Homo-oligomer: A and B are copies of this chain.
Amino acid sequence: MPNDVGHEIADALGTLLRRSTRERIYRRLTEGLGEAVDEVTYPVLSGLARTGPRSAAGLADEIGLDRSGVTRRATRLEQAGLLRREPDPADRRATLLALTEAGRAAIETTRQRLATHIEDSLASWPPGEAQTFARQLRRFVDHGPFTA
């Protein structure tokens, strides 16, 4: 059965995906950050946190969305004070989307919560295995089936 490993990983990924798209997860991670931060607007925040201030078009391309969607989500976040539109000094028709201090704080909070949650649930693993798993997972993500 040459495809054993593939099926094993595929099944595990399947349940992982299913579970992680549950709304509850987002709720717990974004609790208390204001109702503007939800599973819809989150990718905009986290995208900006990853790449820094950026045009709507570039961000749309990265998070796999239409430009109009980014515009609308950005507007919501802007009204909530988590995001700021600033004119691109190099191109006056462009507007850069940038996180405000509150936006960065919100992202950092969720990041910290998630990391802590993961660490807690891995506390019972044999020492060292969590590290090797993290390394392999990173490699799997970077050079694996979903690289493109």
Contact = CB atoms under 8 A, between A and B. Distances in A.
A63 interface: yes
Majority SS at the chain A contact face: helix
State the number of copies, please.
2
A64 interface: yes
Interface residues of A, number: 56
A5 B145 contact: no
Interface stretch (A51-59, A70-78, A109-117): A109-117
Contacts of A134: 5, 8-9, 12
B119 A3 contact: yes
Contacts of A92: none
Contacts of A146: 16, 19-20, 22, 25
Contact of A145 (B14, B121, B141): B121
Interface of A: 2-3, 5-10, 12-23, 25, 43, 46, 63-64, 111-112, 114-122, 124-125, 129-141, 143-147
30 contacts: A3-B112, A5-B118, A5-B119, A5-B134, A6-B114, A6-B122, A8-B134, A8-B137, A8-B138, A9-B130, A9-B134, A9-B137, A10-B115, A13-B137, A15-B141, A16-B140, A16-B146, A17-B17, A17-B21, A18-B43, A20-B146, A22-B146, A120-B145, A121-B143, A121-B144, A121-B145, A122-B144, A125-B139, A133-B136, A136-B136
